[in-house]
Amino acid sequence: MRILILGGDGYLGWPTAMYLSRRGHEVTVVDNFAKRRWEKELSVLPLLPVPLLGDRVKAWKKATGLTIGKVEADLCDFALVKGVLHDFEPHAIIHYGEQPSAPFSMMDCHRAVVTQTNNITGTLNVLWALREQAPDCHLVKLGTMGEYGTPNIDIEEGFIEIEHNGRRDVLPYPKQPGSFYHLSKVHDSNNILFACRVWKLRSTDLHQGVVYGIETDETRLGPELITSFHYDHIFGTALNRFCAQAAAGIPLTVYGAGKQKRGFLNIRDTLRCVELSVLNPPQAGEYRVFNQFTETFTILELASLVKVQSGKLGLKTEIQHLANPRVEAAEHYYNARHQKLLDLGLKPHLLSEVLIESMLASVRENAHLIRQETILPRVQWGHAARAARAAAGAHESTLLPEPAMLPGRAHPAEG
Ligand code: USQ
């Protein structure tokens, strides 16, 4: 198939491009390198320097003989998006091309606007370009499990049957997201659902959990084929951060008591889920949601697993309960359905001790590159920030001053 990967220079986009190229698809990557600019702007670069897209594509050709196309384009430029679809005539588009961080979106007004403008405008442009250039093309959109929040009932896959005043209907599942980033995905979902309904486009909205992992079969084919690994407080996600913290001898940063529960998946399963979606497209006019995660853990369970495994490697790891910088339920019911991808044939790579050990070992090799000042959370969601700002006489930012601690001097434990 001819497949376009939007945001194909990123943590998941690049491994997806290689994975699908290796399976015989004609792959072209579209990216405007915005993520690389945000990383520089905030001084939160990935653990290892990531080769430029041009060099990655050359390295891929050298390693496999296969060609991955590349186009530099901003999805917020409609003429460019339309031009790419016109030239490439894709059978499927995989859309990762969004600002992916919740803390980034909660940092200040500017970043909240950047997140929502970039994400929502980009997706709207893709929808209009599909309508005009490729109405049969299948849009596989990366959404997030965070769209649902943590309701006190079971979470379904996108839709829920409701009985109200004696009548029944199947309606979009209620969304209670926890950041302006997660909200941007909800707005996207609504726009995509609408476009499928009125224009008969077809789309799979992958409500993905928190991804972990450094390696895929393709990134292992050469040092220039690595993907970006973030451990910082902006772009790093929970398990990846904990592994980096353990490798660097820093206490693990559990927010609050760590009883918040989330869905997780291995980066290898992200690739397979996307492939399964592409190979099994929906009907014209169909908008479907797959909940894309394989296991649920509390944050404290994850930290405890990392602590035990790092102990086996001779690392002495502490768990530190920080005051939670986010506004999220501290303890809650969480039971989310994730059946549809299993029905299509997904065989999950479940989190094992071996995997944590190999992640730890791999990060440990480069532990000297870890910049400790980027670890502690500095973006506050709620009133704590207001108080801190008032105390500092500042107005505009929820970014707290750079902490002087590490390791040893802890934020107050929340228990
Ligand atoms: N957390 C900690 N300590 C840390 C980092 C995170 O306790 O050092 C906690 C957070 O409070 C939160 C949970 O871990 O309860 C997950 O946080 P995260 O930073 O790993 O993930 P999140 O902000 O939810 O976002 C990530 C990706 C995003 C994706 C989302 C899937 O950055 O692109 O959409 O995971 S989900 O969480 O299912 O919405």
Active-site position among 185, 261, 307, 340: 185
Q: What is the pLDDT of residue 415?
A: 26
* Average pLDDT of the residues in 360-384: 94
Q: How far apart are CA 192 and CA 308, in angstroms?
A: 43
Q: pLDDT tens digits for 311-347?
A: 999 999 999 999 999 999 999 999 999 999 999 999 9
Among 19-28, 238-247, 251-260, 354-363, whose mean pLDDT is lowest? 354-363
Give, to the nearest 10 degrees, the angle between helix 238-247 and helix 353-365.
60
Percent residues over pLDDT 90 in the chain: 92
Mean model confidence pLDDT for the chain? 94
Among 156-165, 218-227, 235-244, 376-385, whose mean pLDDT is lowest? 376-385
Judged against a pLDDT cut of 80, whether residue 398 lies above it is answered with no
Judged against a pLDDT cut of 70, whether residue 391 lies above it is answered with no
Q: pLDDT tens digits for 224-265?
A: 999 999 999 999 999 999 999 999 999 999 999 999 999 999
Q: What is the pLDDT of residue 354?
A: 87
**Best of 262, 318, 381 to mutate for ligand 1, by most ligand atoms within 8 A of CB?**
262
Residue nearest to atom 35 of ligand 1 (CA): 210
Q: What is the pLDDT of residue 413?
A: 32
Q: What is the pLDDT of residue 412?
A: 33
What residues flank ligand 1, with Cβ below 6 Å? Answer: 100-102, 144-146, 208-210, 237-238, 241, 253-255, 260, 262-263, 299, 326, 328
| Cα 136 to averaged position of ligand 1 atoms, centre (Å) | 34
Active-site position among 28, 123, 144, 227: 144
Judged against a pLDDT cut of 90, whether residue 405 lies above it is answered with no
Q: What is the pLDDT of residue 329?
A: 98
| Cα 102 to averaged position of ligand 1 atoms, centre (Å) | 8
Q: Are 39 and 15 in contact (CB under 8 A)?
A: no
Closest ligand 1 atom to residue 252 Cα is: 8
Residue nearest to atom 11 of ligand 1 (CA): 255
**Cα angle vertex 237, ends 339, 345, to 5°?**
20
Judged against a pLDDT cut of 80, whether residue 404 lies above it is answered with no
333 is known as an active-site residue:
no
227 is known as an active-site residue:
no
* Average pLDDT of the residues in 265-274: 98
Active-site position among 96, 173, 181, 334: 181
Domains in the chain: ranges and CATH: 2-224+271-292 (3.40.50.720)
Judged against a pLDDT cut of 70, whether residue 407 lies above it is answered with no
| Cα 353 to averaged position of ligand 1 atoms, centre (Å) | 21
Percent residues over pLDDT 70 in the chain: 92
**Between 409 and 11, residue with greater pLDDT:** 11
Q: How far apart are CA 334 and CA 151, in angstroms?
A: 7
Q: What is the radius of gyration, based on Cα positions, of the chain?
A: 21
Q: How confident is the model at residue 385 (pLDDT cuts 50, 70, 90)?
A: low
Q: What are phi and psi of 211, to 5 degrees?
A: -90, 145
* Average pLDDT of the residues in 151-175: 98
Q: pLDDT tens digits for 78-137?
A: 999 999 999 999 999 999 999 999 999 999 999 999 999 999 999 999 999 999 999 999
181 is known as an active-site residue:
yes
Q: Are 286 and 138 in contact (CB under 8 A)?
A: no
Closest ligand 1 atom to residue 101 Cα is: 32
**Best of 210, 234, 260, 372 to mutate for ligand 1, by most ligand atoms within 8 A of CB?**
210
Instruction: Tell the residue number behind the tokens 């490798």, with chain if given.
Output: 247
Q: pLDDT tens digits for 289-304?
A: 999 999 999 999 999 9
Among 77-81, 104-108, 356-360, 405-409, whose mean pLDDT is lowest? 405-409
Q: What is the pLDDT of residue 386?
A: 63
318 vs 54, 61, 101, 189, 246, CA distance in Å?
Answer: 41, 44, 26, 40, 8
